[in-house]
Structure 1
Amino acid sequence: MDKLKLKALYTDLRPDLDQVEAELTASVQSDSALLTEASLHLLQAGGKRIRPVFVLLAAKFGEFSIDRIKHVAVPVELIHMASLVHDDVIDDADTRRGRPTVKAEWDNRMAMYTGDFLFSKAIASLSRVESTYAHQLLSDTMVELCLGEIEQVEDKRLYQLTVKEYLKRIRRKTALLISVSCELGALAADVDEKDRIHLRNFGYYVGMSFQIVDDILDIVSTDEMLGKPAGSDLLLGNITLPVVYARDEDGVKELLARIQRGDTTEQTRHELLAALRKSKGLEQAKRVSNLYLEKAMNEIKHLPKSSAKRSLQNIALFMSKRKF
């Protein structure tokens, strides 16, 4: 239901999104039937297409041409998809969005090749955009994304992770790609530089808020709503903001110690979720998420009045209140 509500917020973009979707499907075709099948398996699993939506909406503030803009919207989504495939290998995840992951459907090797294939297709798609800055921006973002993933691996079971370290990690892992989606959309549509900067900042702050909410939902949502076991990230040792704030509370502290010793049973998962749901960590994390949302809204105030501006505001608000 929530996903349907979100899609209703950008109904006006449906014709443009349909073209982006068709271009995504075309872009993952290859001489290898297996590679194409694995890529389509991920693509057809659905998803909110948040990054392409931000590309399209940012471009609405300039000279919008879907024939040009789609070659920016496609690569950011492909990069996002590639990172998910690699994530599932690192986390040994069998399901995503309620469907088997590529690594579960095939194997780790096939998943890694699929992720690499999607990264290369992203670069190929952006090559149609004649902007050195756009290419540099996206390549820098890919590097930062990889660094963020490596940091998460290095920080596993680092139960003394600081708030600053957590924020740095999600900046690289999530916020930068959403920020770049806004900036590239504006760039491809020749949006005024001042407005382009506001859109870039808006995307960054929304991305930070989005990831914190995602980490909250990993604790408060059900397995069915998430399409994967709730709290699975915590059992893997991925420490998130609610845990950082709650880790010294009675109950939580003891359960984290058990996980650190290798106790990752279903019972431990349920006990940890129950303890975190009663902790003060959730409210503190929500406050940080709301602070980033306020910053995003302050950025967007400077943009010209338009239906695109209203859509950005509505989507940002919805993302901060979502339950999936």
Structure 2
Amino acid sequence: MNDFWKEEQDISQELSLVHDLINNTVDKAQGFIRPVLLSHVQTQGKMLRPALVLIVSNLNKEADRKEAIRIASVIEMIHLASLVHDDIIDSAQKRRGKVTIFAQVGAKQAVLAGDYLLSCALSLITGKDTKMEGIIVSNALGRLCMSELEQDAGQGNFFITEQEYFKRIAGKTAALFALSCYAGASVAKLPPEMKNRCHRIGHFLGMAFQIQDDILDYTGSEMHLGKKTGNDLRCGIPTLPLLLALKSEKEQASKEFPLKKLLTTNKKLGQTDVKKAVSLVSSLGGVDQAKKIADTYGNRALIDIQSLQDEQVCRQLTSLFTRLSVRST
């Protein structure tokens, strides 16, 4: 059972079926990569994206549950593949406290492992009478890849605009959240206006989630995160708390800019520099300001959620948002 969903037995049971389908699909892999991939997919996170598919699909109580589980599995495998590629870009040795595929087999074979997971996801769509348009999946996957490419190409450049940051996370994270909600609405055979509303809910939830995730990189603990605080800084990745702190520093009357100087002098920050930067971002109000923006996105999602007129779905989505807002991992 996924502990995150232990209070929602219906979701938890269907997520177990999603997990089984992913395992059975990956189990068909050949050679040395099979146990590596199985270990990766068996390390369950919160399974937020498949859960969104399952929750939203219940807007129609007659929705095909097997179809919902299959589509949820597709989206989760796309997400799992993106994590493999993320770890290569970040040279990450651990994720959720476990050794990454990159650390086990190296970059070249990890890329192929991530690609294999994507092929597994597509195999569950091809030739099926799916309720979800393939172009929607393709667009979301394209946005995810482009955002990762832009982030990788810009590593070490801490001085991007807020608009660039929002565009990145819209593709990197919010696109799959939006796809998940849209997919659930498609399985439920909802009219176009409702599909678009569900897509919007997913987008806002994904934006809030990623900003909160970026905040945790400054405020979380290594024990909870499974990685050191300040990892984004260490990898040369600018996120919203940093951008807002730099903005606050620029607006101050003082002509000293310690955070800007630290980032300008060192494109690759050492551990001491990372600690200094984390402290400065917090003291300059970057974290608090980022929280307010995350709340704004979350509140926009809640407005649409409350208009769905389904008590159970509204409760589950609202509860999910609340728990994500106060999470430590």
Structure 1 length-normalised TM? 0.93
Once the two structures are superposed, the pairs formed by residues 88-103 of structure 1 within 5 Å of their partners are 88-103=87-102
Once the two structures are superposed, the pairs formed by residues 237-316 of structure 1 within 5 Å of their partners are 237-247=236-246, 249=249, 250-260=257-267, 262=268, 264-316=269-321
Three-state SS of the structure 1 residue aligned to 2:28 is coil
Count of residue correspondences: 319
Letter in 2 for 1:283: D
Partner of 2:254: none
Letter in 1 for 2:24: A
Three-state SS of the structure 2 residue aligned to 1:126 is coil
For the Cα contact (< 8 Å) 1:247–1:256, is it kept in 2?
A: no
Deviation, structure 1 residue 133: 5.2
Cα distance between partner residues in 2 of 1:320 and 1:175: 16
Cα distance between partner residues in 1 of 2:311 and 2:128: 26
1:3-38 superposed Cα distances (whole Å, 9 cap, x missing partner): 94x423533312211111110101112241322212
Partner of 2:49: 51
Partner of 2:59: 61
Three-state SS of the structure 1 residue aligned to 2:205 is helix
Partner of 2:322: 317
Give the gaps of 5 or more residues in structure 1: none
Partner of 2:223: 224
Partner of 1:21: 19
Question: Which segment drifts farther, 52-61 or 152-161?
Answer: 152-161
Partner of 2:32: 34
Once the two structures are superposed, the pairs formed by residues 88-237 of structure 1 within 5 Å of their partners are 88-127=87-126, 129-131=128-130, 134-237=133-236
Cα distance between partner residues in 1 of 2:97 and 2:105: 16
Alpha-carbon spacing, 1:283–1:31, altered in 2? closer, same or farther (3 Å): closer
Deviation, structure 1 residue 200: 1.0
Question: Which segment drifts farther, 171-180 or 193-202?
Answer: 193-202
Q: Which runs of 4+ in 1 moved over 4 A?
A: none
Structure 2 length-normalised TM? 0.92
Deviation, structure 1 residue 84: 0.7
Partner of 2:253: none
Cα distance between partner residues in 1 of 2:115 and 2:235: 24
Letter in 1 for 2:320: I
Three-state SS of the structure 2 residue aligned to 1:46 is coil
Q: Tell me which of 4, 9, 12 is aligned to 2:10.
A: 12
1:239-293 superposed Cα distances (whole Å, 9 cap, x missing partner): 0011111125343223223432x4x322222222222222211111111111100
Cα distance between partner residues in 2 of 1:107 and 1:160: 31
Question: Which segment drifts farther, 126-135 or 294-303?
Answer: 126-135
Cα distance between partner residues in 1 of 2:92 and 2:121: 24
For the Cα contact (< 8 Å) 2:57–2:68, is it kept in 1?
A: yes
Higher RCO (CA 8 Å, separation ≥ 6 residues): 1
Deviation, structure 1 residue 66: 2.1
Cα distance between partner residues in 1 of 2:154 and 2:303: 33
1:30-69 superposed Cα distances (whole Å, 9 cap, x missing partner): 2413222121121122211000000000100123232111
Give the gaps of 5 or more residues in structure 2: 250-256
CA RMSD for the aligned pairs? 1.7
Q: Identity rate of aligned residues, in percent?
A: 30
For the Cα contact (< 8 Å) 1:252–1:272, is it kept in 2?
A: yes
1:286-308 superposed Cα distances (whole Å, 9 cap, x missing partner): 11111100110111121022212
Alpha-carbon spacing, 1:129–1:314, altered in 2? closer, same or farther (3 Å): farther
Cα distance between partner residues in 1 of 2:93 and 2:218: 19
Three-state SS of the structure 2 residue aligned to 1:33 is coil
1:84-133 superposed Cα distances (whole Å, 9 cap, x missing partner): 10111111110110111001122112211110001111111122542485
Cα distance between partner residues in 1 of 2:230 and 2:6: 29
For the Cα contact (< 8 Å) 1:183–1:200, is it kept in 2?
A: yes
For the Cα contact (< 8 Å) 2:132–2:183, is it kept in 1?
A: no
